[in-house]
């Protein structure tokens, strides 16, 4: 009577010291990393407590000389290829950090420094005085009769004109940025170019000053001509504002209560990541019967 050969169990193919997770840790992009101590602990749990007594699947039913280390590595690599995307995504979820009672979070950043810089460029402040045929004459005579003193100032066709103006080339340029979903701009820089002002002070005519003691002329000053003064400010005056701000909003938008989110959090962490990995490996390495 023909008796079929017994199907080996998983713990007869892999050992705890050189098991499934030890071989997985040699792969470059395994989600939980290549920590050998962690791999040993996972092999202990997987073979010693979870699946070591399961019968192996057909992929591991080979003659002893066919179950080489290279072949076993190929089997484990094939299993990882099968479940790589799932394990990677679930690991990211397992490692994620969040507030379990918030279901809304938004962050906006604007880079720079909150400073204002005033930079005058090629600035000049010019005052020009232009005397034209200007003359001042003073004659002094000695008085003889007492010390009574009077002073008489007599302007003749004297005129003084002052004019202040701004130029026509005044301009302002503002550059702004807009935050997401915002109609209000955040100013980034502002440049103003202008001729600040121009003042012209012109005095013309003749101005006589006389000083007498008891009716006798002792001092006479006469000023004639045109004396013109112009003050002009020109150049570029630049103002810049940069910024480094972060706007954060988070909380509960009201579609679920805080108690509901807390209950969902409890259910989530009843799930164990490596229990799912163990079950996926069983589908490749073992039979369903146990």
pTM over 0.75: no
In a domain, 290, yes or no: no
- Residue by residue, pLDDT tens for the chain (290 residues) are 555 668 899 999 999 888 999 999 999 899 999 999 999 999 999 999 999 999 999 999 988 889 999 999 999 999 999 999 999 999 999 998 878 767 666 777 777 765 656 666 676 767 777 777 666 666 655 555 544 555 566 666 656 666 666 555 555 555 555 554 555 555 555 555 555 566 777 777 776 777 666 656 666 777 777 767 777 777 666 667 776 778 777 766 666 777 888 888 888 788 899 999 999 999 999 998 75
Q: How far is C-alpha 182 from the chain's CA centre?
A: 17
Task: Please answer whether residues 226 and 132 qualify as being in contact, where contact means their C-beta atoms are separated by less than 8 angstroms.
Answer: yes
Strands 245-251 and 216-242: unpaired
Q: Measured between alpha carbons, how far apart are the two ends of the chain, in Å?
A: 26
What pLDDT sits at residue 154?
A: 64
221 and 122, same structural domain?
yes
Within-domain flag for 4:
no
CA distance 48 to 15: 9
Provide the domain limits for residue 128. 110-246
| 163 and 272 housed in the same domain | no
Do 212 and 234 reside in the same domain of the chain?
yes
* The total number of structural domains that make up the chain: 2
Q: What pLDDT sits at residue 146?
A: 47
Whether residue 239 sits in one domain with residue 120: yes
Are 154 and 194 found together in one domain? yes
Task: Evaluate whether residue 252 is within a structural domain.
Answer: no
Model pLDDT, residue 55: 95
Task: Return the closest-CA partner of residue 28 out of 70, 77, 75.
Answer: 77
Tell the burial category of 55 from Cβ atoms under 10 Å away from its Cβ (0-12, 13-18, 19+).
middle
Q: Quick one: pLDDT at residue 144? A: 56
One domain for residues 28 and 128: no
Residues 78 and 184 in one domain: no
Shared domain check, 218 and 117: yes
Same domain, 130 and 25: no
Instruction: Identify whether residues 39 and 97 lie together within a single domain.
Output: yes
Q: Does 1 reside within a domain?
A: no
Residue 144 lies in a domain: yes
Q: Is there a single domain that holds both residue 203 and residue 143?
A: yes
Taking CA atoms, 256 is separated from 103, 260, 269, 271, in Å, by 9, 6, 19, 22
Tell me if 3 is assigned to some domain. Answer: no
175 and 211, same structural domain?
yes
pLDDT in the model for residue 259: 81
56, 11 in Cβ contact below 8 A?
no
């Amino acid at each position: 009577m023909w008796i079929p050969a017994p199907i080996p169990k998983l713990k007869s193919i892999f050992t705890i010291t050189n098991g499934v997770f030890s071989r997985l840790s040699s792969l470059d992009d395994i989600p939980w990393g290549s920590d050998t101590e962690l791999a040993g602990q996972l092999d202990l749990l997987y073979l010693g407590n979870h699946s070591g007594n399961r019968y192996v699947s057909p992929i591991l039913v080979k003659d002893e000389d066919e179950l080489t280390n290279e072949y076993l590595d190929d089997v484990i690599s094939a299993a990882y290829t099968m479940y790589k995307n799932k394990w990677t995504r679930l690991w990211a979820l397992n490692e994620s950090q969040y507030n379990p009672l918030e279901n809304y979070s938004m962050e906006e950043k604007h880079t720079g420094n909150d400073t204002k810089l005033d930079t005058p460029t090629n600035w000049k402040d010019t005052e020009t005085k232009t005397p034209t045929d200007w003359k001042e004459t003073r004659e002094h005579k000695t008085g003889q009769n007492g010390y009574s003193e009077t002073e008489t100032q007599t302007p003749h066709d004297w005129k003084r004109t002052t004019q202040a103006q701004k130029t026509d080339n005044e301009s302002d340029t503002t550059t702004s940025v807009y935050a997401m979903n915002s109609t209000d701009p955040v100013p980034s820089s502002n440049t103003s170019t202008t001729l600040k002002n121009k003042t012209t002070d012109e005095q013309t005519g003749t101005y006589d000053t006389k000083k007498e003691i008891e009716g006798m002329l002792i001092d006479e000053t006469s000023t004639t001509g045109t004396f013109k003064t112009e003050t002009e400010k020109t150049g570029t005056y630049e103002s810049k504002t940069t910024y480094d701000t972060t706007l954060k909003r988070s909380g509960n938008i009201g579609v679920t209560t805080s108690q509901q989110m807390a209950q969902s959090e409890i259910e989530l962490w009843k799930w164990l990541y490596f229990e799912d990995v163990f079950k996926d490996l069983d589908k490749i390495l073992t039979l369903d019967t146990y």
